[in-house]
C-alpha cells in the first residue's frame, strides 16, 4: 500500500575482490523497459526473467550487509523522507562509519544523524563518537556512544528480506516516528552500483581508490505496515591501491529521487557523476507497479554505454561550500538544480530539484560535504511525466582529502 492508497496527499512538486566486468550481464540482469528503449540502442531483458537467474539470486543482501573487514573506510548509510503528523516533509540521514588507521590498525567509528524539516528549513545534526558492533548471527549492527548508551540498531531480516532500523537520538526521533523501530522494505533486487558494484572513484599517478558499493531503494514502514516514506540504503567501502598524493581532489554529485508517474507507476532513480580525480557517471532507473509490487523496469547505465550522457545543472543561486573548500559550481549542487540523462541523444529522464542552505555534514574534521534533502519540482522519466515526488536527496562534495587520505593509506 502506498501513501496515496492510505489517503495521504502526495508530496510537493579491478581492485581486490572485484567482480570482473565480463560478468556484468550475468550480475546485473539488466531489465530494460518497453517504452522505446530498444529504439535507444539498448537490448531488452525482461526483469522477471533476469531476477530468476542464479546469478541475480547470488547477490545476497545478507552477504553484502556484513562489514567488509578490508580496505580503509566503510559506511552503512540510510536516507529517506517522510511526513510527520503536522504534514511537514522531513528528511533523515543516518550513517554508521568506520575508518581504519593503516599505521596503527586503530578504528574510528562514528554515527552521524541529520534531520531537515523542509517546511521550517530547520536542520538538526550531530556526529557521535563511539563503538560500532556487528552480530553475524542476527545480521545486526549496533552503535553505542562513549558512555555505553545504545544509539542505533540496523539489521537485516533474511526471512522477510527487509531491514529494520531504530535510532535513539534527539535529531532522529523528535516527533516519535520510530517508537517501535522502522522497517526498510527493499524495492526490487539488491543493486550492484555502476552495474557490478565495483569501480574506481579516483585515479592518480601511482595508484587509485576503489569502492565496493551495493544499495537498495527502500519503502520505509512502521512495524504495523503503514508506509512512512521512501529513500535508499547503501553499503560501501573504500580501499586505496598504491600511494596517494598529499592532496587529492575528488568531487562528485549523487542524486536520488522517488515519485509517482502520471500513469500511476512509481519510479526510483539514482545518479552519480564525477569529473575530478575520478571521472565516471552512472545511473539506475526502476519503475514499480504499486498495485502488485512488480518491477516493470530496471535500467542501469554507466560509462560502458557509449551513448549515455549525464549532466548536472546547478541552481544559479550562490553555491554553499563546506569550510576550507572552494566553489566549483559546475560539479556542485548545494541547493539543487537539474539532472538530465540521455541515451543515444534521446531523453531518459529530466529532473529538477530544490533545497535549502545549511545542510553541511561535518565528520569532525575527517570529511565535510553537503548532504541535502529537498523537493522534486518537476520531471519526466522514459517519456512519462512525474505527477508527484516522494523523496529528493542529494550529496555534493568539493573534497580535498588531505586530512582523509592518511586514514585510508596502506
* Residue in this structure with the C-alpha cell 567482480, named with its chain if needed: 19
Pairing of β 89-100 and β 278-288: unpaired
pLDDT, one tens digit per residue, over 380-397 is 999 999 999 999 998 877
Strand partners, 114: 93, 125
Output the pLDDT for position 278.
Answer: 66
| Longest alpha-carbon distance in the chain | 60
Q: How confident is the chain (410 residues) per 10-residue block, as mean pLDDT?
A: 38 36 31 42 41 52 88 89 91 90 79 93 91 96 95 96 94 81 94 90 82 94 92 91 70 90 96 76 92 88 91 73 55 78 93 83 57 92 95 76 38
Residue extents of the structural domains in the chain? 3-408
For 341, the grid coordinates are 540523462
Calpha distance 251→275 (Å, rounded) = 7
What b/e readout covers 58-69, taking b as 16+ CB neighbours within 10 angstroms? ebebeebbebbe
Strand partners, 274: 280
For 153, the grid coordinates are 540498531
pTM summary value:
0.82
Q: Is 50 exposed, middle or buried (0-12, 13-18, 19+ CB in 10 A)?
A: buried
Output the pLDDT for position 323.
Answer: 59
Contact 333, 320 (CB under 8 A): no
SS3 (DSSP) at 49: helix
Output the pLDDT for position 182.
Answer: 95
Calpha distance 187→152 (Å, rounded) = 23
Q: Which CATH architecture does the domain made up of 3-408 adopt?
A: Beta Barrel (2.40)
DSSP label at residue 11: B
Non-local (6+) Cβ contacts of 163 within 8 A are: 65, 154, 155, 156, 157, 183, 184, 186, 216, 218, 233
Output the pLDDT for position 362.
Answer: 57
Output the pLDDT for position 43.
Answer: 46
Output the pLDDT for position 378.
Answer: 95
* Residue in this structure with the C-alpha cell 569501480, named with its chain if needed: 199
- Nearest alpha-carbon partner for 349 in 314, 373, 383: 383
Strand partners, 209: 202, 240
Angle at 307 between CA 29 and CA 44, to 5 degrees: 30
Amino acid at each position: 500500500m502506498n501513501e496515496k492508497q492510505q489517503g495521504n496527499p502526495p508530496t510537493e512538486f579491478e581492485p581486490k575482490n572485484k567482480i570482473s566486468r565480463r560478468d556484468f550481464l550475468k550480475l546485473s540482469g539488466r531489465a530494460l523497459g518497453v517504452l522505446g528503449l530498444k529504439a535507444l540502442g539498448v537490448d531488452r531483458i525482461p526483469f522477471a526473467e533476469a531476477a530468476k537467474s542464479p546469478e541475480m539470486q547470488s547477490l545476497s543482501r545478507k552477504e553484502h550487509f556484513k562489514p567488509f573487514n578490508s580496505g580503509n573506510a566503510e559506511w552503512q548509510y540510510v536516507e529517506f523522507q517522510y511526513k510527520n503528523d503536522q504534514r511537514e516533509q522531513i528528511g533523515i540521514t543516518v550513517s554508521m562509519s568506520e575508518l581504519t588507521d593503516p599505521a596503527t590498525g586503530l578504528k574510528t567509528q562514528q554515527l552521524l544523524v541529520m534531520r531537515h524539516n523542509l517546511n521550517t528549513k530547520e536542520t538538526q545534526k550531530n556526529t557521535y563518537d563511539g563503538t560500532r558492533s556487528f552480530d553475524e548471527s542476527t545480521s545486526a549492527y549496533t552503535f553505542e556512544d562513549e558512555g555505553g548508551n545504545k544509539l542505533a540498531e540496523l539489521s537485516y531480516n533474511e526471512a522477510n528480506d527487509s531491514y529494520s532500523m531504530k535510532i535513539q537520538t534527539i535529531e532522529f526521533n523528535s516527533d516519535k516516528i520510530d517508537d517501535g523501530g522502522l522497517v526498510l522494505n527493499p524495492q526490487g533486487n539488491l543493486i550492484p552500483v555502476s552495474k557490478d558494484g565495483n569501480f574506481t572513484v579516483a585515479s592518480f599517478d601511482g595508484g587509485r581508490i576503489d569502492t565496493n558499493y551495493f544499495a537498495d531503494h527502500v519503502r520505509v514502514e512502521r512495524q504495523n505496515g503503514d508506509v512512512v516514506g521512501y529513500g535508499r540504503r547503501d553499503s560501501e567501502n573504500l580501499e586505496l591501491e598504491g600511494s596517494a598524493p598529499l592532496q587529492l581532489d575528488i568531487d562528485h554529485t549523487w542524486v536520488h529521487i522517488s515519485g509517482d508517474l502520471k500513469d500511476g507507476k512509481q519510479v526510483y532513480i539514482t545518479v552519480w557523476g564525477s569529473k575530478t580525480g575520478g571521472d565516471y557517471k552512472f545511473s539506475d532507473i526502476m519503475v514499480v507497479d504499486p498495485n502488485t509490487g512488480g518491477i516493470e523496469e530496471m535500467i542501469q547505465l554507466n560509462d560502458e554505454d557509449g551513448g549515455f550522457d549525464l549532466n548536472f545543472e546547478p541552481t544559479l543561486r550562490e553555491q554553499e561550500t563546506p569550510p576550507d573548500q572552494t566553489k566549483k559550481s559546475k560539479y556542485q549542487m548545494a541547493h539543487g538544480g537539474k539532472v538530465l540523462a540521455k541515451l543515444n541523444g534521446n531523453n531518459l529522464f529530466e529532473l529538477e530539484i530544490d533545497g535549502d542552505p545549511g545542510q553541511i555534514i561535518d565528520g569532525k574534521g575527517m570529511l565535510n560535504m553537503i548532504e541535502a534533502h529537498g523537493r522534486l519540482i518537476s520531471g519526466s522519466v522514459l517519456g512519462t511525466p512525474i505527477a508527484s515526488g516522494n523523496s529528493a536527496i542529494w550529496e555534493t562534495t568539493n573534497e580535498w582529502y588531505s586530512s582523509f587520505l592518511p586514514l585510508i593509506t596502506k
